[in-house]
Amino acid sequence: MLGSIVIRVATFLPFQATYYLNGHSFMEIELKRRKIEFRKNDNSFVGVSDPEALQDVADSLSAEVIRKALDYWSLIVGPKFSKSEQKAMNLRRAYYIHQIEYCRNFIFKRNFPIHKIFERSCDLALWRMTAHKISEMFGMRLNKHHKGKLHSVMDQFEHGHHVFRAYWKNAFLKQYEKSSTFLRNEIVSNNLANFRLRKSLDNLPFIRKRFQEITGRFAGFQAQCLNVHVDFPLLQRIALPITNGTVKYPGIKIHDTRMIRLMEVLLHAGTRLGGWSTKQIHEAVLTAFQLTAKQYAINQLRYDLRKLKAHGLLERDGRRYAYLLSDKGIQVALLFLFFHKKLCGPLAHSRFHHKPEGAHKPESKLEDAYYKADHAIQQIVDLLVVA
């Protein structure tokens, strides 16, 4: 009924048995029973004639179905006791979940977009997925009493096969390419107590619901980061002054170093779990960019925060004097930082350290176009200096 199962039975009291089962095997058997056509590659379904039926089969893997199969195999391979021994020892069976994996798949027709999305999402996650953001995705509040793992890494198991992992105590989220057709987000837990969940098999519906929420938040985080493009009208609107009540605030320019530093700190530190006070933000900016209080005073920070709030990029955490980026603020901050780190940074580095020779004749069309762009940027800089 459940497909292939690995069973390990202890040879001593209380004869503990460990079962390893794969839900995909159950789904394969159930689809065959319902006569639904499908294609399967290793541990993944790469095609099915009825996607809704596939989801229905996955949802039908309940605690009752698993218990029925485990009771059967426990009777077959487990120790046998006489009726008198059963009465003397009050024998019973109880099943608990010690490790569980739950995945959410995003299916594509071609491998090319998957690889590009995975590369960019890993780049964003390693840069922006801080401890607070990991805690937010796992639905837990981060405090000073936290014990266990709390970090993100990029693993390479084989040549060209990378896996992104975000650890939280005894659990972790991972993302990787699978079968060249879909992107898999998977959560693995070795201790359900980290999620305030009971490990009894009867709690499987609650575990599934909680893991759906976690993988959904992870996918939402990546979608929000990936949905950042060069919105020039937005840059123009942000650069214009704005009036809030009787106070007029200047616009936010894309070359404003102070605002870029503040956005980067807020992007890393600001979370949905709770905002940071002005003092905490000030200390973070000074530490991150090795500034002194004289170079960036706290009154300058308060002015910058008011300007961000006037443009709708910053919001307070409830009624507390703690701040975090709004949804619009996250998009603008990512756009500003992408512009500086992905475009201005590489171009400036090439200009001042690898200036092309005038006599050099590039053979590549791409290199030729790059040198033309470099020359155009230099003309813009010269005109700005004259102006």
Q: Regarding the domain delimited by 97-227, which CATH topology (the fold level of the hierarchy) does it fall under?
A: Alpha-D-Glucose-1,6-Bisphosphate; Chain A, domain 4 (3.30.530)
Residue 215's pLDDT band, with cuts at 50, 70 and 90, is very high
Question: What is the predicted pLDDT for the residue at 243?
Answer: 85
Lowest-pLDDT range of 77-81, 170-174, 309-313: 77-81
Question: What is the predicted pLDDT for the residue at 197?
Answer: 92
Lowest-pLDDT range of 132-146, 164-178, 291-305: 132-146
In the predicted structure, residue 348 carries a pLDDT above the cut 60: no
Residue 143's pLDDT band, with cuts at 50, 70 and 90, is confident
Lowest-pLDDT range of 258-267, 347-356, 376-385: 347-356
Residue 352's pLDDT band, with cuts at 50, 70 and 90, is very low
353-382 average pLDDT score: 65
Question: What is the predicted pLDDT for the residue at 158?
Answer: 62
DSSP string over 128-156: H--HHHHHHHTT----TT--SEEEEEEEE
Which range has highest mean pLDDT (155-159, 161-165, 169-173, 366-370)?
A: 169-173
75-93 average pLDDT score: 80
Residue 179's pLDDT band, with cuts at 50, 70 and 90, is confident
In the predicted structure, residue 178 carries a pLDDT above the cut 60: yes
Question: Would residue 57 be called left, alpha or beta, if left means φ above 0 and alpha means ψ between -120 and 50 degrees?
Answer: alpha
139-146 average pLDDT score: 77
Question: What is the predicted pLDDT for the residue at 56?
Answer: 92
Strands 314-316 and 323-325: antiparallel
- DSSP-based three-state secondary structure for 115: helix
Question: What is the predicted pLDDT for the residue at 329?
Answer: 83
Question: What is the predicted pLDDT for the residue at 151?
Answer: 81
Angle, nearest 10°, between helix axes 278-289 and 298-310? 110
In the predicted structure, residue 314 carries a pLDDT above the cut 80: yes
Question: What is the predicted pLDDT for the residue at 358?
Answer: 55
In the predicted structure, residue 100 carries a pLDDT above the cut 90: yes
189-218 average pLDDT score: 92
pTM of the model: 0.64
Measured between alpha carbons, how far is 179 from 145 in angstroms, rounded to an integer?
41
Q: Which residue has 């942000």 as its token pair?
A: 238
- Comparing CA positions, the residue from 108, 127, 130, 235 lying closest to residue 179 is 108
Residue 270's pLDDT band, with cuts at 50, 70 and 90, is very low
> 163 with 155: CB under 8 angstroms?
yes
Measured between alpha carbons, how far is 115 from 377 in angstroms, rounded to an integer?
32
Angle, nearest 10°, between helix axes 111-128 and 204-226? 90
> 228 with 331: CB under 8 angstroms?
yes
In the predicted structure, residue 297 carries a pLDDT above the cut 90: yes
In the predicted structure, residue 385 carries a pLDDT above the cut 60: no
344-370 average pLDDT score: 57
How far, in Å, are 215, 223, 301 from residue 211 at the CA level? 6, 18, 39
Mean pLDDT, the chain, integer: 80
Question: What is the predicted pLDDT for the residue at 83?
Answer: 80
Strands 247-249 and 161-169: unpaired
In the predicted structure, residue 260 carries a pLDDT above the cut 90: no
Measured between alpha carbons, how far is 314 from 297 in angstroms, rounded to an integer?
20
In the predicted structure, residue 246 carries a pLDDT above the cut 70: yes
Dig out the tokens for 39 from the structure.
């294609």
CATH of domain 232-335: 1.10.10.10
Question: What is the predicted pLDDT for the residue at 367?
Answer: 64
Question: What is the predicted pLDDT for the residue at 272?
Answer: 42
